[in-house]
Amino acid sequence: MPALVNYRGDDYHTGGTLCSKDSSRLLSVASHQDVYSPPCKRLRISGSYFLFFEEENKQSIDLLPDECLYEIFRRLPGGQARSASACVSKRWLTVLSTIRKSEIVSDNGSSNDVEMISQENDGFLTRCLEGKKATDGRLAAIAVGTSARGGLGKLSIRGSNKVTKLGFAAIARGCPSLKVLSLWNVPSIGDEALIEISKECHSLEKLDLCHCPSISNKGIAAIAENCPNLSSLTIEFCKNIGNESLQSVARFCPNLQSISIKDCPLVGDQGVATLLSSPSSVLKKLKLQSLNITDFSLAVVGHYGKSISNLALISLQNASQKGFWAMGNAKGLQSLTSLIVTSCYGMTDLSLEAIGTGCCLLKQMLLKKCCFVSDKGLVAFAKSAKSLECLQLEECNRISQQGILGALSNCESKLKSLTIVKCMGIKDLDQETADLTQCGSLRSLTIKDCIGFGNTSLEIVGTLCPQLQNLELSGLCGITDSGVFLVLENCKSGLVKVNLSNCINLTDKIVVDLAKIHGETLKVLNLEGGRKITDESLMAIAENCSLLNDLDVSKCSITDSGLSCLSEGVQIDLQILSLSGCSKISNKSLPSLKKLGQTLVGLNIQQCNSVTSSAVDSLVENLWRCDILS
């Protein structure tokens, strides 16, 4: 560097060379009087002569062409020197960003610094750019800065229209270790950017594209042809990506294990069929949502999806009962363990039974907004799905109390979890239970926002499920203390997690019963929104629930006295306490909260309007291990 500059400032300036790295740093005439020198000596030349001499003799590295700078920069000793050089000017950053890893010369004069290569191949660094922060300059800086720090492994860009192929060219050259690329709402990015990535980043394993209208089949094909390690592909709301992309992926990506396609109007039966029917397919996860595919695609999935373990079919309006029936009846989904079907009119009683029969390893099933599934289909599915462990029903309004009880009674004693959400067809009706079989395997029961579910239904369910450990009854206005008590009384194993949030008709009585019956096993309790829950409940909890570590009494009618009792209770490991919206909690609870804070890691006192800001500050100061929301 000194040889290139060829300038000595020693004769005229005792503080070292005055050569600047850019012209913006030249000293003005007025400022020359402030140049550092020993106080006992005078400047031997005038300021104007000094400026003239510097201008006449200035020889800067910036006078060199880019080709020379390139040769200099690729010989810099280590990544730290290259990162420092990139901070000098945009020009230097641009030149540095054009240097490939393989072109960097080590101290012994050879290219391919072995140590650096091994670090870059790790690719564990993550960078996420959003909005205005996502520019070509930042991408170039990332490319230069991460090369000596383990290599960039994951890059995410969200909501930007300033990034172009130039920034991606820099990433491609400087970050060959890139394994994950995620682009969300980046309309300025087109095929050229993906082509640049495909040229250098052959280790790419995961590509996520969402709202990228400028990317077409050409860009996906380039990735597929040059990135054989691609194992995960997500394409959502990309209007120019179609069947040709899936055909390229099927041909060139033998390691593809997960693919998700949503709302891409050019994707149809041909693309899905080619993807699934590839002889080398090892696809394990498949999600098809809002696509123009028909029964043909579902039949192909059912026939060729031998390796698929997770399948999600959402809003497939052109697929009928015939397609879903064919998918199950083909009996090719021999590895399927998890199935999600949402807003599909083709999911009927007949097709649901066929899926239960054909998917012998199915363990998890979610049906949401499937308006043609009724009790008959649900009971038949429960009988035929021999391996079913988890069943979730949401907004299936033809399902009634009879269907739920029939499913529980016919699940072959393997069902462990049942979740029912917003099923408006459930009515609280009396029913004979003599012909129903207990479901001794069920450990978790969730019934949420089902307005017709009341004490009668709860009593029957409680009788059928004596081994419950997790119970969630949320948003059920029709249940009271007596109905819940029957469930508590029948649970033989001891409840561990209980959620009674927004059940406005429950009182202290049921909480006291819960604490007395299951206090020795209870670890999580949620009473949020219980307007009739008072200090009496906290007293019972304090006396009986020694293992409790998570308590939520938000929007309950508790006071400072209740918190005082809780702080003196038998709890030895209370870690999470939520008091949000408890208007009767005041500064008087400060000593109780500090005492509880010896074990707390999370405290929520939002909307506790009687707790002043000074009290909050005192809590923050004393409970330094606890995250406090106020």
Q: Kindly tell me if the per-residue pLDDT of 25 is higher than 50.
A: no
- Above 50 in pLDDT, residue 318? yes
3-12, 80-89, 291-300, 487-496: range with lowest mean pLDDT:
3-12
Higher pLDDT, 52 or 569: 569
Count up the domains in the chain and report the number: 2
Between 170 and 215, name the one with better pLDDT: 215
Q: Is there a contact between 324 and 344 (Cβ–Cβ < 8 Å)?
A: yes
Residue with tokens 């307007």: 531
Please report the pLDDT score of residue 175 as a whole number: 83
In the predicted model, is pLDDT for residue 603 greater than 60? yes
Give the residue carrying structure tokens 């008959």: 376
Cα 33–35–40 angle (5° rounding)? 80
Q: How many Cα atoms occupy the beta-carbon half-sphere of 300 within 13 Å?
A: 18
Beta-ladder partners of 157:
129, 183
Specify if 618 maps to a domain: yes
The pLDDT-based confidence of 20 (bands split at 50, 70, 90) is very low
pLDDT per residue as tens digits for the range 255-281: 999 999 999 999 999 999 999 998 888
| Residue 624 tokens, joined | 């330094």
For the chain, percent of residues with pLDDT exceeding 70: 79
Pairwise pLDDT comparison (70 vs 240), residue with the higher score = 240
- Predicted confidence (pLDDT) at residue 441 exceeds the cutoff of 90: yes
Task: Assign 430 a pLDDT band (cuts: 50, 70, 90).
Answer: confident
Read off the CATH number of the domain in which 594 is found.
3.80.10.10
Does the pLDDT value for residue 111 go beyond 70?
A: no
Span 387-411, average pLDDT: 93
pLDDT in tens, 58-72: 556 767 666 676 566
Name the percent of the chain lying above pLDDT 90: 67
Q: Are 327 and 313 in contact (CB under 8 A)?
A: no
Q: What length does the chain have?
A: 630
Which of 43, 63, 83 corresponds to the end of one domain?
Answer: 63
Domain's final residue, options 15, 42, 63: 63
pLDDT > 50? residue 2: no
Type of residue found at 330:
A
Q: Which of 529, 586, 533 is nearest to 561 (CA)?
A: 586
pLDDT of residue 68: 74
3-state secondary structure (DSSP) of residue 255: coil
H-helix segments, 428-559: 455-464, 481-490, 508-518, 535-544
Q: 12, 42, 63 — which closes off a domain?
A: 63
pLDDT at 47 over 90: no
Amino acid 429: pLDDT: 84
Rg (CA), the chain: 34
Cα gap 404→449, rounded to integer Å: 15
Residue 151 lies in a domain: no
Q: Quick check: is 362 in a domain?
A: no
Flag whether pLDDT at 544 surpasses 50.
Answer: yes
What backbone torsions phi and psi does residue 355 show, to the nearest 5 degrees? Answer: -65, -40
- pLDDT tens readout for residues 471-494: 999 999 999 999 999 999 999 889
Kindly report, residue by residue over 347-380, the tens digit of the pLDDT: 999 999 999 999 999 999 999 999 999 999 999 9
Residue the block writes with tokens 């682009």: 183
Render pLDDT for 332-345 as a digit per residue (tens, 0 to 9).
Answer: 999 999 999 999 99
Rama region for 46: left / alpha / beta (φ>0; ψ in -120 to 50; rest): beta
pLDDT for 1 beyond 60: no
> Average pLDDT, stretch 494-522?
96
DSSP 187-216: TT--HHHHHHHHHH-TT--EEEEES-TT--
Query: Is residue 560 situated within a structural domain?
Result: yes
* The model's pTM: 0.82
Beta pairing partners, 393: 367, 420
Q: Do 230 and 255 meet the contact criterion of CB atoms below 8 Å apart?
A: yes
**Torsion angle (degrees, nearest 10) of CA 585, 591, 597, 603:** 20
601 CB burial (10 A radius; 0-12, 13-18, 19+): middle
Rounded mean pLDDT, 564-593: 94
Range of the domain at 13: 2-63
Q: Output the average pLDDT for the chain.
A: 85
